[in-house]
Amino acid sequence: MAYQSMEEALLDLERNNHLVRIREEVDPYLEMATLHHRVYEAGGPALLFERVKGSNFRAASNIFGTLERSKFIFRNSLETVKLLIKLKQNPMAALKSPFQHAGAAIRATMALPLKNPVIQPVLASEIRISDLPLIQHWPMDGGPFVTLPLVYSEDPDYPGIMRSNLGMYRIQLAGNEYALNEEIGLHYQLHRGIGVHQTKANRLGIPLKVSVFVGGPPAHTVAAVMPLPENLSEMSFAGVLGNRRFRYVYRDGYAVSTDADFVITGEVLPGENKPEGPFGDHLGYYSLQHPFPLMRVHKVYARKNAIWPFTVVGRPPQEDTSFGELIHEMTGAAIQHEIPGLREVHAVDAAGVHPLLLAIGSERYTPYTPTQQPAELLTISNHILGTGQLSLAKYLFITTDDQYQLSTHREEAFLIHLLERIDLKRDVHFHTQTTIDTLDYSGSGLNTGSKVVFAAHGPKLRELITDVPTCIKDNSRIRASKLVMPGVIAFEMGNYQSEADTALAIDELNASLANHLTDLQGVPFLILCDDAAFTAEGLRNFLWVSFTRSNPSHDIYGIASFVDHKHWGCKGPLIIDARIKPHHAPVVALDPDMVKKTDRFFAKGGSLHGIVKE
């Protein structure tokens, strides 16, 4: 099915029991987001809010809330997209079996955007920013945000849609210092195409024209988050995925998606920034207030009966997790084809995606002498950390699997395999004073921190413990300890005070354990945390706490550690200090009063009765 609009897609979901209408009036301040969060947590349907307080427009959320629903939306095009991606990786397949792949070639004609279509629904009316559903998601947010924006810009040196960029960069609609209806905030991070466009515009001393599309066929939303090669237009991908050519027109020099529900046009002028944020983000913490580009609003368009789509991010998993699953479903082994020797790579959603990557590689350098330590793995690691958004990774765990029994998506089994083989004296490799994800506040500054590669190859070196050793359990310096998983122990030593205090505490712990290295052979990792019971409660907690609250260069220690010709290693367990530090951002949490307020929707007679347990 080729959806011509967001509403057409939502009606299809409703007919197939994937959507529920909320007929009660709902407050865009926290209430809508709380409802979304509770329904998503319960694995519930998409939501259509018919009465949004303060706005005449409807809103929809949780559209992509499950992989099942996402695959249903694209059920008529998903296999074609997967085939086209495979053909790009192996074009000879099409030459060998031309008739078998003819259908994919025909569908590929949808990749060509359609300029100036006769029907242009989004230009039905001009409105103001204040007419929109101004949704505030979390209590400490700086104001209302657009959370499913499709931000369009063109290359000033090569204008036109085929050299344009479409990305999902959050938009702050009001609050802080923004003049309502005149200015909005444009937040984008490292390795984003719009940054290249703004750099060129600044060099030329001209404003960058930007269009923000909201809504439209669901394929447009997925295209904006799809990691595409630089020479492939997101609009082309949207056309193929949606089985409908991307339709657009120019108004006052701005590109306008005519199938969108809303379009905001405006200019970003060189050197104009204003404070943007805070915003409860996808790592599970607030991204704090920082200066980001200011967009001067030109016009706001809306189609008749437009629907405002939104999502809510926070500690994963959230709806954006389904985007990642859908992308993986479509791309398969695309990244592996870009990086020689890489068999599999997985950005771990539970750890906020960028903080933790797991990878499986190869060791093929010296077939005449079996390799007993990482060699090619280190080359692959450098390639991973130099590739697009993978370069934002903070922790990279990489190993080999000659038996092809390991999967990076089975995280605990993968970590056990690696921890059984890692030589902590040799296999820990730091990258200091480098870039990390903008939203990661564990580093030494905005966009600034460090990386570490744990590379393990060779025979099994240890049996991992499955109980806390006595030397840790009875250690007077340790307040509490819990086994997280085989080979990993979470422990407490008090709240973080300072680097100097931590260094002293680690020295004292080191002295107390120095004579117990034999007892600690099966403990490669110790996680210093604020709450050992919480950290050890499950793999999800361990991954979130350990890798979102630590900066490798500052927060990794080791029992019997040493530096040899600038290489760091340790003879005993490696320690990750994953306690909350003063410079970390606050944790995102629902407002308990708002949760209680939304109970009425789930009670008998409410629109969402039966969705969650009362």
Angle (CA) 40-66-41 rounded to 5° is 20
- Do 392 and 483 sit in the same domain of this protein? no
- Do 147 and 39 sit in the same domain of this protein? yes
Residue 555 CA to residue 499 CA, distance in Å, equals 9
- Do 36 and 118 sit in the same domain of this protein? yes
Give mean pLDDT, residues 604-611: 90
Q: What is the CATH number of the domain that holds 359?
A: 3.40.1670.10
Residue 513 lies in a domain: yes
- Do 303 and 410 sit in the same domain of this protein? no
- Do 305 and 327 sit in the same domain of this protein? no
Q: What is the CATH number of the domain that holds 301?
A: 2.30.110.10
Domain of residue 367, residue span: 319-456
pLDDT digits (tens, 9 = 90+) for 490-535: 999 999 999 999 999 999 999 999 899 999 999 999 999 999 999 9
Confidence check: pLDDT of 455 > 90: yes
Bridge partners for 265 per DSSP: 211, 299
**Tokens 């307020």 belong to residue:** 597
- Do 147 and 282 sit in the same domain of this protein? yes
- Do 21 and 85 sit in the same domain of this protein? yes
21: left (phi over 0), alpha (psi -120 to 50) or beta: beta
- Do 488 and 555 sit in the same domain of this protein? yes
Residue 583 lies in a domain: no
Residue 595 lies in a domain: no
User: How far is the CA of 443 from the CAs of 35, 446, 530, in angstroms?
Assistant: 33, 7, 18
452 SS3 class: strand
Q: Are 576 and 434 in contact (CB under 8 A)?
A: no
Residue that finishes a domain, picked among 281, 310, 339: 310
- Closest C-alpha to 556, from 414, 404, 424: 424
Q: What is the CATH number of the domain that holds 571?
A: 3.40.1670
Residue 588 lies in a domain: no
- Do 295 and 341 sit in the same domain of this protein? no
- Do 108 and 232 sit in the same domain of this protein? yes
- Do 177 and 78 sit in the same domain of this protein? yes
Confidence check: pLDDT of 99 > 70: no
- Do 407 and 494 sit in the same domain of this protein? no
Residue 602 lies in a domain: no
Angle (CA) 337-420-509 rounded to 5° is 120
User: How far is the CA of 203 from the CAs of 157, 199, 540, in angstroms?
Assistant: 11, 6, 45
Q: Are 65 and 319 in contact (CB under 8 A)?
A: yes
Residue 448 CA to residue 293 CA, distance in Å, equals 19
pLDDT digits (tens, 9 = 90+) for 420-446: 999 999 999 999 999 888 888 898 888
Residue 132 CA to residue 135 CA, distance in Å, equals 9
Number of H helices, E strands in the chain: 20, 30
Residue 218 lies in a domain: yes
pLDDT digits (tens, 9 = 90+) for 51-75: 999 999 999 999 999 999 999 999 9
Residue 489 CA to residue 210 CA, distance in Å, equals 49
Total tally of structural domains belonging to the chain: 3
Residue 268 lies in a domain: yes
Residue 590 lies in a domain: no
Give mean pLDDT, residues 266-293: 94
Confidence check: pLDDT of 464 > 50: yes
- Closest C-alpha to 301, from 257, 355, 245: 257
Residue 569 has a pLDDT of 98
pLDDT digits (tens, 9 = 90+) for 231-272: 678 999 999 999 999 999 999 999 999 999 999 999 999 989
